[in-house]
Chains A and B, each alone.
Chain A
Amino acid sequence: QVQLKESGPGLVKPSGTLSLTCVVSNGSITSSNWWTWVRQPPGRGLEWVGEIYHSGSTNYSPSLQSRVTISVDKSKNQFSLKMTSVTAADTAFYYCARDPRTAAVAGLSPWGPGTLVTVSS
């Protein structure tokens, strides 16, 4: 079973850069999947951040695309999220997930357990 796990600093200063990594295990990041980031402010709903294919193709949320970059490292079987100029509004649980878009069973699955990033000085 493919498993995903997020990692990165839990605290980022305002105006700084948020950097997270999602390691994919028991599966290859070069398989036919899109790799996705979703975030959830504490006590609020889910927000799609963006996605990447192993070829490097990306799609971003229109509201975040000016600040977000998603990249893939095939040698380490992982993908990453960078978000610049963060504010308190970017405080959230950040999840990574697989999207096997063209497979028999599609949808975001599985998800990583999530990691809380707090933006505060």
Chain B
Amino acid sequence: QSVLTQPPSVSGTPGQSVTISCSGSRSNVGSNLVYWYQQLPGTAPNLLIYRNNNRPSGVPDRFSGSKSGTSASLAISGLRSEDEADYYCATWDDSLRGHYVFGSGTKVTV
């Protein structure tokens, strides 16, 4: 069981917007920066959002991240077929000497 809770799936039609939530606690999301990873089918994960709301070079501005308290969100606007993938939030957890934790993952279907 992951300490970061995400909805198992979200879906939308092309052009729509969807939001993925990531719920944690004070020891993880509430105290640390959040990252988002996109995993296309059959491939390794790829960094999508870093430090809550920043996009690495090459990531379209259709993707945006935010954080408030012990929750974070990933928004995808102008949904495209190539956005169909699994998405994971992640952050550091300060408990038990500190360790990195991933969310449970959300499958986005377009």
Q: Which residues of A contact B (CB under 8 A)?
A: 36, 38, 45-48, 51, 59-62, 95, 105-109, 111-114
A95 to B46, CA, bound (A): 12
List 16 other contacts, CB 8 Å, given A107-B47, A107-B50.
A45-B88, A46-B37, A46-B90, A46-B105, A48-B99, A48-B100, A59-B97, A59-B98, A59-B99, A62-B97, A95-B45, A105-B56, A106-B50, A106-B51, A108-B47, A109-B46
A-B Cβ contacts below 8 A, count: 64
A62 to B100, CA, bound (A): 10
Q: Which residues of B contact A (CB under 8 A)?
A: 2, 33, 35, 37, 39, 43-47, 49-51, 54, 56-57, 88, 90, 96-105
Contact A46-B47, Cβ < 8 Å, known A59-B98, A107-B35: no
> Inside 8 A of B57's CB, which chain A residues have their CB?
105
Q: How far is the CB of A22 from chain B (nearest CB, A)?
A: 12
Q: Which residue of A lies closest to B98 (CB)?
A: A59
Contact A111 B46 (CB under 8 A): yes
A112 to B45, CA, bound (A): 9
> Inside 8 A of B100's CB, which chain A residues have their CB?
36, 48, 51, 59
Give the contacting residue for A108; candidates B45, B97, B98; CB below 8 A: B45
Contact A45-B35, Cβ < 8 Å, known A59-B99, A109-B56: no
Q: How far is the CB of A81 from chain B (nearest CB, A)?
A: 15
A60 to B98, CA, bound (A): 9
A108 to B39, CA, bound (A): 13
Contact B105 A109 (CB under 8 A): no
A109 to B35, CA, bound (A): 11
Contact B96 A45 (CB under 8 A): no
> Inside 8 A of B33's CB, which chain A residues have their CB?
106
Contact A112 B46 (CB under 8 A): no
Give the contacting residue for A45; candidates B44, B54, B105; CB below 8 A: B105
A108 to B47, CA, bound (A): 6
